[in-house]
């Protein structure tokens, strides 16, 4: 995999973060967003589906006041997204949807609620 291709994908993730509404972007603290090629075997869904992104941490709604927490981590997986489509435009849309989906988990929004909101396909 070329470094140029990896860099382009990382820019898609950075752009998706930059395009978040300010009220969400400004509340993202102590969150590392990383781009990885593939999920680890233990992260893959049991049903064999592709994992596009993963939130690992304690959602804001589950935190006590004043408790110290390690940084949350949002991983965006390049390989599964690139296998879905070769179209740069479509990849950008999938990345944006995946970033929004995983950030929603950081804010305590469940997969069920995301589905109700019409945003449940990005996991």
List Cα–Cα distances, 23 to 26, 46, 119, in angstroms.
6, 35, 19
Q: What is the mean pLDDT of the chain?
A: 87
- pLDDT single digits (tens) 29-79: 789 999 999 999 999 988 988 999 999 998 888 877 777 778 899 999 999
What is the reported pTM?
A: 0.86
Q: Which residue has the higher pLDDT, 98 or 23?
A: 98
User: Do 92 and 76 form a contact (C-beta atoms < 8 A)?
Assistant: no
**CATH class of the domain defined by 3-60+69-116:** alpha beta
* Domain range annotation of the chain: 3-60+69-116
């Amino acid at each position: 995999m070329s470094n140029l291709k990896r860099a382009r994908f990382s820019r898609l993730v950075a752009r998706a973060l930059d395009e978040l509404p300010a009220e969400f972007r400004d509340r993202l603290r102590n969150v590392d967003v990383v781009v990885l090629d593939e999920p680890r075997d233990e992260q893959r869904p049991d049903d064999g589906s592709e994992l596009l992104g993963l939130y690992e941490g304690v959602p804001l709604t589950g935190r006590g006041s004043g408790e110290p927490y390690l940084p949350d981590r949002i991983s965006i997986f390049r390989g599964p997204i690139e296998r879905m489509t070769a179209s740069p435009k479509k990849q950008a849309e999938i990345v944006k949807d995946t970033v929004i989906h995983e950030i929603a988990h950081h804010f305590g929004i469940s997969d069920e609620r995301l589905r109700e909101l019409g945003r449940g396909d990005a996991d």
